[in-house]
Every structure is written in structure tokens, then in C-alpha cells.
Amino acid sequence: MTQPLLFSPLRIRELTLKNRVVVAPMHQYSGIKGFPTDWHVMNAGRFAAGGAGLVFVESTKVERRGCGTVGDLGLWDDAFVPHLRRIVDLVHACGAAIGIQLGHSGRKARIARPWEGGKPLARRPEIDDWDAWELVAPSALPADAGSPVPRALEKSEIRQIAEAWGKATARAQAAGFDIVEIHGAHGFLIHEFLNPQANQRSDEYGGSLANRMRFAIEVSECVRANWPEEKPLFMRLSVDDGAGWDPESSVALSKVLNTKGIDVIDCSGGGILPGAVPGAPIGYGYQVPYAEKLKREAGIMTMAVGLIVHAEQAEHILERGQADLVALAREMLYNPNWAMDAAQKLGLDPNFTAVPPPMAYWLERRRATAKGVVPSTFGNSGPPA
């Protein structure tokens, strides 16, 4: 049979991914003073054991004041490196590549965790991860009517934050990550510079499109300078935020990023203002057209995200040339073995080399085969009827 594109390898620089299934970065809100815990080891490990080709660690902050809430991970100090290496080593042992998303929350920092309402965070006696960290942004404009006003960054500070991204990237290399992704979406600091409503500066970082793109470009330069030439770099963009940053602007930025060493654009949307609705109505694969547009018009590899749920859906995205990779988030939480399940539904045995399961799974298959029964989890039943 023809090998599905979803389970064909993809080479990016000197890294070859065994398949095109990616676990998107997802906040876990479970760190302790910036350090990952056993939860993070388990969470990343289960996705790798489930057959994904690439697993991303959640948005990890490049400086303390970039933390969105308590429980965020950090990489602003060398002390974090060995703790992250535990995660890297486990994911590699399970046969997957691993990436880390590096971010800064900007004016959306210091809010309560989602299950606590997501409101501005006030000091509480039971929170030990609290030091009243400062909110900073391109301009002194709050994220919404109920949020505090951030301090507008001095011009000299902007370069320092770009360099903080570079230093965090060097630590990601020390921890052994295969890929770094720069978080430039969802209303966080880089996106705040890009959007004309959030960025009302009058210096060279504000005003024109070229000026508003300047910070994103400087961050990409600092990251690339601290990342090995043979390793890939991604950037996540809100390709359309519904409030002034649109797909045409994203194409223009992606063309420049392509010359700065960014290899893949992770194409998301929204996040800059409450109620701002991007052009794509929410539904299965609703952000895939963003990935298709940037791939076609900017000449850069793209990763599609946004309610990608089914194996056939993911395969069609690749067959149509709309993206080079597909990333899943919620669906992976429901089914960490999604990749093995998808391989079965597309007619491949999950023991195929594109989805090698842990050796313990091979053992169970051998035992079942010896008894004349192959469990459906490992079988080759072909596409569902």
C-alpha cells in the first residue's frame, strides 16, 4: 500500500522526524517556581510513547516577569536545565523528537490559572510562587478593561528581552532539545508588538508594519545566533488576530523570518483582544487555510493546528499540500496514543517504523501473536468501515 504522508519522515535541517504527528505545546500550570515536576515528565512521556514524531514542551518563559501565572515553566536561569533534561531524555528514549516553546506573556502576565477564573492575580497566602512580578508591554495599554495597565518598555529594555530569548535558547541546547519554537502569537509580548492596537509606540518599534515587525525579527536573530545551525527553529504566529494583524501581514513577516533562519511557521490565530474574531469560523481544521497561505505565498514550511481530530483529516491536509506538519492539542489529551490509533485507521501496523511503540508494547504483541490473537490496538485493520 502507499505509505500515508502522515507517517512519512520529514527532514528539517539535520533533524529527521519519524512522522508528521506533532503534540502542540500546552500549558500545564504545574511548575514550582519555574521548575518542571514529575507531572511534566509523565505528560511529555506519554505522548512520545504514544507514537508522535515530535512532542513540544509548553511555553517556557525567558524571564521571570514573562510568566503568565503561577505554575509556568522558566528558562531564565541555568538551574532549570537539568530538570528539563529529564524530560528530554525520556522523550528521546521513547523514540520521539522534542521541542520547547519559548515565550513571554507581556501584558497578559500575572493572571490566575484558568480554573481559578483567569483574572488578574492577587497575592494569596497559599501561593508561594509570588513576587508581584511586573507587567511590561510595547505600550501602556491593558489587555482588557479588567486588567492592570502594563509599563511601556524603554527602548533599551526591548533589546535586553530579545537577548533573554537568546540566552534561554542556549539553555535549551544545553538541555538537549531538538527544536525551539518562538511564541509570537495569542496576544503575548511578540504579538503585542505586531498588532497596531496593542503597539502605539512612536519610535522604531512602532507605527509602520516594518517597525512593528522589528522585535519579532530581533528575537529570531538572537535565538538563531544561540541555536546550532543544524537544528530547526519554529515560530508560532496568530496569522489572523481579528484586530489589525492579518494574513497578509503574516506573509510579509514570514518572508523575512525565512531569511533569518526560521524553518517552520506554526499557524494559529486570535488572542490579542477580547471578542476579536479572526476571519476563519471555528470548526474542524479552521486554521488550516492559514498554514496553506503562508506555505504558498511566503515559501516557508508550515504546521497546521486547530481542531485537527481525525486521522483522515490530518492525512488530507498533507495530501493537499496545505501544511508540512499537523499539530494536535486537545485530542492528544483525550488520546495520548493518537498516533498509533491513526496509523491503524490509515491501514498501517503501528509497529511500522514510523510509529515504533515502546519495547513493552512489542512484548505484548509477541505474546498475543503466540496465542493466535493480535489485539486491535496493534492490529492492521485498515480504515474504519
Using one digit for the tens of pLDDT, what is the confidence trace for 80-110?
Answer: 999 999 999 999 999 999 999 999 999 999 9
The pLDDT score that the predictor gives to residue 371 is: 53
Can you read off the three cell numbers belonging to residue 194?
A: 505586531
Residue 2 clears pLDDT 90, i.e. is over it: no
**Other CB atoms within 10 A of residue 91 CB:** 27
| Residue carrying the nine cell digits 497566602 | 125
Contacts of 253 (CB under 8 A, 6+ apart): 194, 213, 216, 217, 237
Highest-scoring range by mean pLDDT, 97-101, 270-274, 380-384: 97-101
CA 95 to CA 287: how far, in whole Å?
29
Assign 384 a pLDDT band (cuts: 50, 70, 90). Answer: very low
Kindly state whether residue 375 falls inside one of the protein's structural domains. Answer: no
Is the distance from CB of 184 to CB of 192 less than 8 angstroms?
no
Q: Read out DSSP for 144-156?
A: STTSPPPEEPPHH
Kindly state whether residue 379 falls inside one of the protein's structural domains. Answer: no
Using one digit for the tens of pLDDT, what is the confidence trace for 234-246?
Answer: 999 999 999 999 9
Q: Which of 95, 90, 81 shows the shortest CA–CA distance to 21? A: 95
Can you read off the three cell numbers belonging to residue 278?
A: 479572526
The pLDDT score that the predictor gives to residue 382 is: 33
The pLDDT score that the predictor gives to residue 128 is: 62
Kindly state whether residue 385 falls inside one of the protein's structural domains. Answer: no
The CATH number for 264's domain is 3.20.20.70
Q: How far is CA 69 from CA 36, 129, 158, 185, 312, in A?
A: 14, 9, 22, 17, 37
CA 55 to CA 172: how far, in whole Å?
14
Which neighbouring-strand residues pair with 180?
Answer: 100, 233
Full domain range(s) for residue 146: 5-370
Is the distance from CB of 298 to CB of 260 less than 8 angstroms?
no
Q: Total structural domains in the chain? A: 1
Kindly state whether residue 67 falls inside one of the protein's structural domains. Answer: yes
Assign 288 a pLDDT band (cuts: 50, 70, 90). Answer: very high
Average pLDDT, rounded, for the chain:
91
The H-or-E segment that residue 316 falls in is helix 311-319
Q: Which of 95, 85, 258, 105 shows the shortest CA–CA distance to 176? A: 85
Is the CA virtual torsion 315, 47, 24, 117 positive or negative? positive
| E-assigned strand segments in 187-280 | 233-240, 264-269
Assign 277 a pLDDT band (cuts: 50, 70, 90). Answer: confident
321 Rama class: left (phi>0) / alpha (psi -120 to 50) / beta:
left
CA 301 to CA 383: how far, in whole Å?
29
What percent of the chain is modeled with pLDDT above 90?
81
Assign 280 a pLDDT band (cuts: 50, 70, 90). Answer: confident
Can you read off the three cell numbers belonging to residue 367?
A: 505474546
Can you read off the three cell numbers belonging to residue 4?
A: 500515508
Residue 303 clears pLDDT 50, i.e. is over it: yes
Kindly state whether residue 376 falls inside one of the protein's structural domains. Answer: no
Q: How far is CA 90 from CA 94, 128, 269, 328, in A?
A: 6, 29, 31, 20
* Average pLDDT value for residue range 167-176: 98
Kindly state whether residue 380 falls inside one of the protein's structural domains. Answer: no
